[in-house]
C-alpha cells in the first residue's frame, strides 16, 4: 500500500451500558465503547460510544497541525448495533462539523431500519438541537450484513472502497496488502443482534466482538470467524457469579466465555472489553488475573491503551 505501513489499535472507550466517570474508574476509564484502528493511511473507528468524543478531538488536532491546508479526514465508522452506549458520543463527534471530513458509515439493518435510519434521529430535532443532515461534512452510509466485506484498494492515484455481500464475491486478484473488514451478524444480543468485525491488513487479523453471549458454548460459526486472529477484543462484562445470579440473557459474556472463545479460536492475544459499569478498577484487575490463569496472553482494555501489531514490541 502507498505510504506508511502500520497497524495500530487505540482504545478510547472500554465500558459497557453507560459511562462511569469517577475515582473508581481512573485506571481503566469510564467511557463507553470506541476503538480506533490505524491501518496504513486509513482510520477505522469501531462504535461511537462516549469514547468517540475524545477521539474526535484528537482527530481535529491532527487537522490543526497541518500547515499546508490540504489535509482531510477520511474516516470509516463501523457500528455494531443500535444500543445507546455504542452511539451516545455520535452527536458530539467534532469532525462531523468540519467540511474537511468525509465519513463512511457501516452498520447493520435492525428492526427494518438501515444504518442511516438508525443514527440520523440521534442528531436531529427534537432529540438534538443540531441536524446532522445540515452539517458541512460529507457522509456516506452503507448497510452491511452477515459475511459482508468492505475492501479498500490503493491504486497509484486514488483509493477505492467497495462493499461486497459475501466473502466469495471479493475479487480473487485483490493483493494481501489491501485492507479488508469482514462482518459477522450474531443473534445473541437482545433484541436484534449485533455485528462482529474482523480487520485484515498486512497479514494480521483483529477481531472486534463486543455484545455477544455464549450461554451454551461458542457458536461454531463465530469460532471460524475469529480463527487465528492476532488480537481478539471480546466482551467480558460479567463475573461468573453475577452472570449466573442475575445477568443471564442480557447479551454479554463472562470472562470464562471470552477465554473459551480465545482458546477455541486459537487467537494470539485476548483483550477483555465492555466492562461492567458497576465494577471498579480493582475488580477488573481481578478478572484479568483470572483470565490469565487460563489464557496467558490476556489483558484488560484500558482507555489510552495501544497495540502496535507491526512493531516488535507492544506498548501501553
Task: Return the pLDDT at 71.
Answer: 84
211 is in which domain, residue-wise? 7-308
Dist. CA 104–CA 22, nearest whole Å: 33
List per-block mean pLDDT (blocks of 10 residues) for the chain, which spans 316 residues: 78 98 96 97 96 98 79 95 97 97 96 95 96 97 93 62 76 70 92 94 96 94 97 98 95 98 98 98 98 98 97 54
Task: Look at residue 213 and tell me if it is in a domain.
Answer: yes
Q: In sequence order, what DSSP letters do the residues of 55-110 get, joined into one string?
A: HHHHHHHHHHT-SSS---EEEEEE-----GGGTTTGGG-GGGG-TTEEEEEEE--B
| Rounded CA separation 178/2 (Å) | 10
Contact (CB, 8 A) for 35 and 233: yes
* Residue 159, domain member (yes or no): yes
Report how far residue 77's alpha carbon sits from residue 119's, in angstroms, rounded to the nearest whole number. 12
Looking at the structure of the chain, the number of domains it has is 1
Structure confidence at residue 314 (pLDDT): 47
- Whether 1 is covered by a domain: the verdict is no
Residue recorded with cell 467497495: 162
- Domain assignment of residue 116, yes or no: yes
Query: Does residue 140 sit within a domain?
Result: yes
Domain assignment of residue 314, yes or no: no
Residue 260 lies in a domain: yes
- Helices 255-264 and 281-292 cross at an angle (nearest 10°) of 30
Q: Are strands 231-235 and 73-78 parallel, antiparallel or unpaired?
A: unpaired
pTM over 0.85: yes
**Which CATH number belongs to the domain containing residue 42 in this structure?**
3.60.15.10
Domain-embedded: residue 316: no
- Which value, to the nearest 10 degrees, does the dihedral of the CA atoms of residues 14, 20, 21, 26 take? -50
Amino acid at each position: 500500500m502507498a505510504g506508511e505501513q502500520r497497524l495500530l489499535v487505540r482504545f478510547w472507550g472500554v465500558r459497557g451500558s453507560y459511562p462511569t466517570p469517577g475515582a473508581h474508574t481512573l485506571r481503566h476509564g469510564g467511557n463507553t465503547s470506541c476503538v480506533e484502528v490505524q491501518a496504513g493511511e486509513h482510520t477505522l473507528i469501531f462504535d461511537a460510544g462516549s469514547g468517540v468524543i475524545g477521539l474526535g478531538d484528537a482527530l481535529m488536532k491532527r487537522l490543526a497541525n497541518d500547515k499546508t491546508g490540504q489535509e482531510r479526514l477520511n474516516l470509516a465508522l463501523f457500528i455494531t448495533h443500535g444500543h445507546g452506549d455504542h452511539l451516545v458520543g455520535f452527536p458530539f463527534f467534532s469532525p462531523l462539523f468540519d467540511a474537511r471530513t468525509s465519513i463512511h458509515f457501516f452498520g447493520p439493518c435492525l428492526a427494518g431500519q438501515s444504518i442511516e435510519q438508525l443514527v440520523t434521529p440521534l442528531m436531529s430535532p427534537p432529540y438534538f438541537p443540531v441536524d446532522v443532515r445540515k452539517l458541512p461534512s460529507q457522509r456516506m452510509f452503507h448497510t452491511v450484513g452477515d459475511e459482508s466485506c468492505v475492501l479498500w484498494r490503493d491504486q497509484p492515484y486514488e483509493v477505492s472502497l467497495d462493499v461486497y455481500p459475501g466473502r466469495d464475491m471479493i475479487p480473487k486478484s485483490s493483493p494481501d496488502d489491501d485492507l479488508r473488514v469482514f462482518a459477522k451478524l450474531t443473534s445473541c444480543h437482545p433484541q436484534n443482534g449485533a455485528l462482529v468485525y474482523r480487520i485484515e491488513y498486512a497479514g494480521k487479523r483483529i477481531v472486534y466482538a463486543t455484545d455477544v453471549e455464549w450461554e451454551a458454548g461458542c457458536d461454531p460459526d463465530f469460532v471460524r470467524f475469529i480463527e487465528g486472529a492476532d488480537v481478539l477484543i471480546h466482551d467480558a462484562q460479567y463475573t461468573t457469579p453475577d452472570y449466573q445470579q442475575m445477568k443471564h440473557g442480557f447479551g454479554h459474556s463472562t470472562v470464562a466465555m471470552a477465554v473459551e472463545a480465545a482458546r477455541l479460536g486459537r487467537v494470539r492475544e485476548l483483550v477483555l472489553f465492555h466492562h461492567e459499569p458497576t465494577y471498579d478498577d480493582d475488580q477488573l484487575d481481578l478478572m484479568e488475573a483470572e483470565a490469565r490463569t487460563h489464557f496467558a496472553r490476556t489483558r484488560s482494555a484500558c482507555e489510552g491503551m495501544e497495540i502496535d501489531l507491526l512493531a516488535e514490541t507492544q506498548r501501553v
